[in-house]
A and B are shown apart, each in its own frame.
Chain A
Amino acid sequence: EVQLLESGGDLVQPGGSLRLSCAASGFTFDNYAFNWVRQAPGKGPEWVSAITAGGGGTEYADSVRGRFTISRDNSKNTVFLQMNSLTVEDTAVYYCAKCFRTTKDAFDLWGQGTRVTVSS
């Protein structure tokens, strides 16, 4: 079955860290770029970070640059998001999303999301 499965979301205090994982199955993982997209309660999606198919290119939204790091392990079909120095504004459901064909493309496959709550 073609799917993405996120994990790692939790309740964390401001200033804390979390590592999210996204496990892919059912397709050739290392052919595609991936993204993390978050959605705060009652808000629209917000793109967070992207990584190219080979992992050599990464990009970040201004709101997370310097605090978040995206990576991937093509041998394990998994994408990661290391989140440091978390603030309450980072509270959201975090989705992993696959680029449709090329690096700059629509997102054709999404995971079910993992919830991150930053609160004291």
Chain B
Amino acid sequence: EILLTQSPATLSASPGERATLSCRASQSPNVNLAWYQQKPGQAPRLLIYGISNRAAGVPARFSGSGSGTEFTLTISSLQSEDIAMYYCHEYHTWPPMYTFGQGTKLEIK
């Protein structure tokens, strides 16, 4: 089973700043990764799939990158509506043992 470790646990940044969220997988190869945004009281929303592909309707300020065991979600210019929890999600296997990271809480200063 692949374990995902997200850092930092909490990230505080100012509007307009760049935010970088990390997700480390416990093993490789062939990790496939997604990122989700979850606002309070709402279901998770898919932002990024296949490490770097934006889902439909996701603003261009969100981007994903990485390879091997190190992955990154970058928000290029923070907006107030980006306040949320962000989770990474590994999904390369069938039978599936999908794994989620423990999340990064994004706060706006």
Q: Which residue of B lies closest to A95 (CB)?
A: B43
Contact with A along B39-78 (1 / 0, CB 8 A): 0001111100110000100000000000000000000000
- Interface majority SS (helix, strand, loop, mixed), chain B: loop
A47 contacts B44, C-beta separation under 8 Å: no
Q: How many residues of A contact B (CB 8 A)?
A: 21
Within 8 A of B (CB), among A79-113: 95, 100, 103-108, 110-113
Which B residues are in CB contact (< 8 Å) with A24? none
Least Cβ distance of A22 to chain B in Å?
12
Q: Which residue of A lies closest to B45 (CB)?
A: A110
A107 contacts B100, C-beta separation under 8 Å: no
CA distance A111 to B99 in the complex (A): 19
Which B residues are in CB contact (< 8 Å) with A108? 46, 49, 55
CA distance A111 to B42 in the complex (A): 9
B49 contacts A104, C-beta separation under 8 Å: no
Which residues of chain A have a CB within 8 Å of any CB of chain B? Answer: 35, 44-47, 50, 57, 59, 61, 95, 100, 103-108, 110-113
